[in-house]
Amino acid sequence: MKLNSPLEAYKYLPGTNCGECGETTCMAFASHLIDRSYKLTDCKPMVKDNKYSKKFDVLKQLLAPEIHEVEIGVGERAVKIGGDDVLFRHKLTFFNKTALAYDVWDTMDEKDLVERIKKIDDFKKFYVGEFLTLDMIAVRSTSNDPEKFAATVKKVIDTTDMPMVLCSFNPAVLRAGLDEAADKKPLIYAANQDNWQEVAELVQEYDVAVTVFAPNDLDLLKSLAGTFSGMGIKDIVLDPGTFPTGKELKTTFNNFLKIRRAGINGDHDIAFPIMTVPMTAWMVYDDDVSASYWETVIASIFSVRYGDIMILHSIEPYALLPQLHIRDTIYTDPRTPVTVDPGVMEVGSPDANSPVIVTTNFALTYYTVESDLASSKVDCYILVVDTEGIGVEAAVAGGQLTAEKIKRDFEAAEFDLKTRTNYNTVILPGLAARLQGDVEDVLGANVLIGSADSGRLPGWLETNWPPTKK
């Protein structure tokens, strides 16, 4: 965006402090526009009152992200890519996490195809209160036969509502796919030096987003993007080629850096989302494990550095789990707090016979422990100790989790073990075992050492709770 401070946005706002947006002042609203936690359309007077329309248009332009945002697919599963304003996540945050597309191809037999789509569609991993899932299906034409491609695209549509990337360099094949899928707004892959005119025509005819592909040729890539823009096509994705190994991979890495830096610095012709194809690892490695590993390595590099959408092949859990987590790592908003409030939390409906479990106020630790216990329907209390947002192991090492601090936070929560529970017992995390003696002395309570990982706590409780001595 072209604005650096709330004041610069404020001068375009009504300045009436009407409060309709939920903020008490227009200046407060302006600061939310700058940190992108509000949209301009959240200012109702600006939207409704014609006298603001000119200012609205100007401000909208000024607030537009440097990297164009592209939407693919329709409905709830539609994905947005691009839309970034910074090169480093701590400068603001990255928007629109990298879309992960997994491939199917048009020479698969129908049973395998459906099974694979379902695996991709169904994959989920619980994490901090929500499920991490995969985003898209990339349909590759390996047959180069329009009919086969169309049939495969149709099968994908019949099986899932995930958005699609339609992959072929043959315009006739792409057309056949679009005839089936145009109303699902797939992303077209790809226009290159040879087919760009035919593809440009398809893109306009069917009104879909398009990828331009120029392996390791940034002049050509920019020329293709500029030409497509010149024809009035707005939704463009850039693929500078993903070379999977050696010095070519180093060059690929630097191509990504260069494109994004130029885009953020204001080169409009190249300010589009970037596509990476870690799947090219499969062109080099023969065995599945090596290829899956290397593909995941490439996916991780470009999750960190500016890949906005990627096409992958392996659907082994050992590839999908790190891919999902590194993407989440990079796109988590660094402005959200690291900590939860200290105190005694209740899981389920605990009573005087329920266990009391100690953990830290590092948000991730707390949510993990809480969801592990809740998922197994354990009724218990959790003492959340203020460890300044540091996890158990590091807090024990760094002195943020001590017997005194556990006592302090029980007292602050006015939770008296002796009157509130029948066992006068606390359960320490396995990684805090060395605090056992201290905690016993300081609290005057029994201390049990739980599992090192809270995922094993429910099982541990089955054999260790209730404790034998009261």
Partner 1 sequence: MTNKNIKLSEISDIFKKLDVEELEGVTIEGDIELDISGGGGLNPALAYALGHEAAQVSLHVANIARMLGYPVDQLFATSMGAVPAAETTRPNVLDELIPSKFEVSKVAEWNNSIEEVTLGATSADGGSRKNTITLGGENALPYHFDGEMPHRNYVTMDVFDMPIGMAKSVKENYEDVINDPADWAKKVVNDFNADMVTIHLISTDPLINDTPAREAAKVVEDVLQAVDVPIVIGGSGNPQKDPEVLEKAAEVAEGERVLLASASLNLDYERVAKAATDYGHAVLSWTQLEINAQKELNRKLMKQCGVPRDSIVMDPTTAALGYGLDYAYTNMERIRLAGLMGDDELTFPMSSGTTNAWGARESWMKESPMNEDSNWGPREYRGPIWEIITGLTLSLAGNDLFMMMHPTSVEVLKEITQTLFGSVETEPLDITNWIGTEV
User: Footprint of partner 1 on residues 75-94 (CB under 8 A)?
Assistant: 88-90
Tell me which residues in 13-52 interact with partner 1 (CB under 8 A): none
Specify the residue, 69 or 217, whose C-beta has the smaller distance to partner 1. Answer: 217
Q: Which of 18, 62, 92, 262 binds partner 1 (CB under 8 A)?
A: 262
The distance from CA 381 to its chain's CA centroid, rounded to whole angstroms, is 31
Residue 335 makes contact with partner 1 by CB under 8 A: no
* Binds partner 1 (CB under 8 A): choice among 24, 53, 61, 329: 329
Do 316 and 290 contact (CB within 8 A), yes or no?
no
Rounded Cα distance between 1 and 220, Å, is 26
Backbone conformation region of residue 216, classed left if phi is above 0, alpha if psi is from -120 to 50, else beta = left
| Contacts of partner 1 in 197-226 (CB under 8 A) | 197-198, 200-202, 204-207, 215, 218-224, 226
Tokens of 96: 């629109």
Residue with Cβ nearer partner 1 (73 or 171): 171
Least CB distance to partner 1 at residue 39 (A): 25
Tell me how far, at minimum, the Cβ of 155 lies from partner 1, in Å: 18
Torsion angle of alpha carbons 36, 42, 48, 49, nearest 10°? -60
Does 74 contact partner 1 by CB under 8 A? Answer: no
Q: Does 178 contact partner 1 by CB under 8 A?
A: no
Cα–Cα distance between 348 and 57 in angstroms, integer?
51
Amino acid letter at 349?
A: S
Asked if 450 interacts with partner 1 (CB under 8 A), we say no
Does 319 bind partner 1 (CB under 8 A)? Our answer is yes
- The site string for partner 1 over 264-293 (x = CB under 8 A, - otherwise) reads -x-x-xx------x-xx-xxx----x-x-x
54-62, 64-72, 135-143, 342-350 -> range binding partner 1 (CB under 8 A):
135-143
Task: Rule CB under 8 A: say whether 65 interacts with partner 1.
Answer: no
Q: Binding of partner 1 at residue 393 (CB under 8 A)?
A: yes
Of 61-69, 74-82, 248-256, 405-413: span binding partner 1 (CB under 8 A): 248-256
- The DSSP secondary-structure symbol of 339 reads B
Under rule CB under 8 A, which residues in 289-318 are in contact with partner 1? 289, 291, 293-294, 296-297, 300-301, 304-305, 313, 316-318
Helix (H) or strand (E) holding 70: strand 69-72
The span from the CA of 56 to the CA of 97, in Å, is 28
CA–CA distance, 439 with 447 (Å, rounded to integer) = 7
Strand blocks (E) in 97-208: 99-105, 124-127, 130-133, 136-140, 164-167, 187-191
Cβ 306 to partner 1, closest distance in Å?
Answer: 11
Cβ 129 to partner 1 shortest distance, Å: 12
Q: Which of 244, 273, 307, 450 binds partner 1 (CB under 8 A)?
A: 244
Looking at residues 138 to 177 of the shown chain, list those that interact with partner 1 (rule: CB under 8 A): 140-142, 144, 167-172, 175
Burial of 449 (0-12, 13-18, 19+ CB in 10 A): middle
Q: How far apart are the first and last CA of the chain?
A: 63
- If one asks whether residue 68 binds partner 1 (CB under 8 A), the answer comes out as no
Work out whether 129 is an interface residue with partner 1 (CB under 8 A). Answer: no
| CA–CA distances in Å: residue 215 to residues 54, 99, 193, 268 | 42, 21, 10, 20
Judged by CB under 8 A, which stretch of 57-65, 153-161, 230-238, 414-422 contacts partner 1? 230-238
Beta strands in 246-349 (DSSP E): 275-276, 309-312, 343-347
Residues whose CB is less than 8 angstroms from the CB of residue 246 and which lie 6 or more positions away in sequence, other chains included: none
> What amino acid is encoded at 266 in this protein?
G
